[in-house]
Chains A and B, each alone.
Chain A
Amino acid sequence: MSTSRLSTLSLKNGLPKSNNIWDGTTGFFESIATLTGNGSSDTLTFSNIPSTYAHLQIRFIARDTRATLRDDITIGFNSDTGTNYAYHYIYGDGASVVGGGGANAGTGYVGSIAAASASANIMGAGIIDILDYANTNKFKTVRVLNGEDQNGSGYIYFISSLWRNTNAITSINIKTTNVSRYFTASTTFALYGIRSF
C-alpha cells in the first residue's frame, strides 16, 4: 500500500495533521465496490475493475452455509481456472503452528471463515492486498491476513498467493470450496483502490 503521496509537511509528531490522511482534494484510498452474500451463491465477483489504481485491497467479513464450524475460501482472477496459482500459508490454531501450501493450483487461497455450525453471528474476517494489480510486466502476488475465533477454537493466518499471469486484473472472484456452500447474507467483501503519484 503506497503512502508516498503523504508529504512530511502534512505530518506533526509523525501523525497526519488533518483528518483526511491523504493530501490533496481527492482521496488516494477509494472505495470501488461492495459485494454482499445472499444465502444462495457460492461465488462473489468484482467485475470491470478499473486499471487506474496502483494497488487493490479487499476487506471482508464472511460466513457460509457449510455444515461445519468453518470453511475455506479461495480467490481467482479474470475467470482463469487453469492451474496458474500457487499459495503458501502459516497459521496458528491456538495450540500449534502449521505451514503449508499448494503449487499449480486452480485458485489462490484466502483463508478460513466461520460456517453454519459455528455459534450464531460469528464471522471470519480478512484483509487482502494485491499490489501492482494492473501492471502487465509482473505476475500478481496476493497477501492476506485472515482469521476466525470462535471462543474455544479458531485460526489466525498469514497467506501469500501467486497468479502466474501478467495481465492486468479486471475481475476477482471469491469462492467457497463447494458449489453447495453459500455465502450468508451477513457476508460482505469491500474492494478499495489505492492510488500513487
Chain B
Amino acid sequence: MPATYDKINSNTLSTSATDVTFSSIPGTYTDLVIVMSVFTSSDGESPQFQFNSDTATNYSTTFVEGNGSSAASYRFSSRGNLETSYNIGGNSTSPSPIITHINNYSNSTTHKTVLTRWNSASGGTYPGVNATVGLWRSTAAITSIKIYPGAGNFNSGSTFTLYGIKAA
C-alpha cells in the first residue's frame, strides 16, 4: 500500500505577519490538510482564506459553535474570502488550534468544499468548540492559499503547516 501523508510546507512566524501564503502547491495529492496553531494581535479575529489570488465574491461559509453556555449557527454568502474560523484568541499562551481539510483540491471538475474544526482557548475572551463548511465556487485546482486574519496580524509563534494526502 502506498504510504502518503506528506508535509508540503510549514511556516512558524518569528515576527508578526499580516498573512501567510502557501504557493506553488503541487497537484499530485488528493487532499490538503492545513494545521494551524495561531495567536492574533487582538481577540476575536477570524482567519480568512483566499485561493489562487481570487478576491471575487466566490466564497461562502456555514458555521456551528458551542461556547459552554449556548450553541449557534451563522452563514456568510458571496464573500471575497473564505472565513474558515473566527473568535481566535489573542492570548499569548493559549493558541487556537485550527485544522482545515480540502478534499479533492486539485480536480478541475468540482467546486471546492472546505471543512474546518477549531477551538478557541478556554479561559479566553471567546472560548468555544467550532466547525465550518466553506465553499469556493471555482473548479480550478488550488495552487495557492493565502491565510490572513480579518484585522491585525498573526503573532510571532503562530505555526502553519500544509500537508498533502494521496489516495491510491
A149-B133, A188-B104 known; A97-B2 Cβ under 8 A: no
Residue ID in chain B nearest A188 by CB atoms = B104
**B73 is an interface residue with CB less than 8 A from chain A:** yes
Q: How far, in whole Å, are A18 and B34 apart by their CA atoms in the complex?
A: 17
State in angstroms the CA–CA spacing of A149 and B165 once bound together.
Answer: 23
Which B residues between 39 and 70 are near A, CB-CB below 8 angstroms?
A: 60-66
A139 and B20 alpha carbons, distance in the complex (Å)? 43
Determine which of A31, A94, A125 lies in contact with B166 in the assembled complex, contact meaning CB atoms within 8 Å. A31
How near does chain A come to B43, taking the closest CB pair, in angstroms? 22
Interface string of B83-121 (1 = CB under 8 A from A): 000000000000000000101100101110111010000
A179 close to chain B: CB less than 8 A: no
Which residues of chain B are near A125, meaning CB under 8 Å? 101, 103, 113-115, 133
Which of the four size classes fits the interface of chain A? 35 or more
Interface-facing stretch out of A71-79, A101-109, A154-162: A154-162
Residue from A18, A94, A127 within 8 A of B115 (CB atoms): A127
B31 touches A20 (CB 8 A): no
A147-B104 contact given A94-B62, A193-B1, CB 8 Å threshold: no
B159 contacts partner chain A, Cβ-Cβ < 8 Å = yes
Establish whether residues B5 and A29, one from each chain, have CB atoms under 8 Å apart when the complex forms. yes
- Please tell me if the beta carbons of B168 and A147 are within 8 angstroms of each other in the complex: no
Contacts of B115 in A (CB 8 A): 125-127, 145-147, 156
Interface residues, chain B, with chain A CB atoms under 8 Å away? 1-8, 10, 12, 30-31, 37, 60-66, 71-75, 77-78, 101, 103-104, 107, 109-111, 113-115, 117, 131-135, 137, 139, 159, 161, 163, 165-168
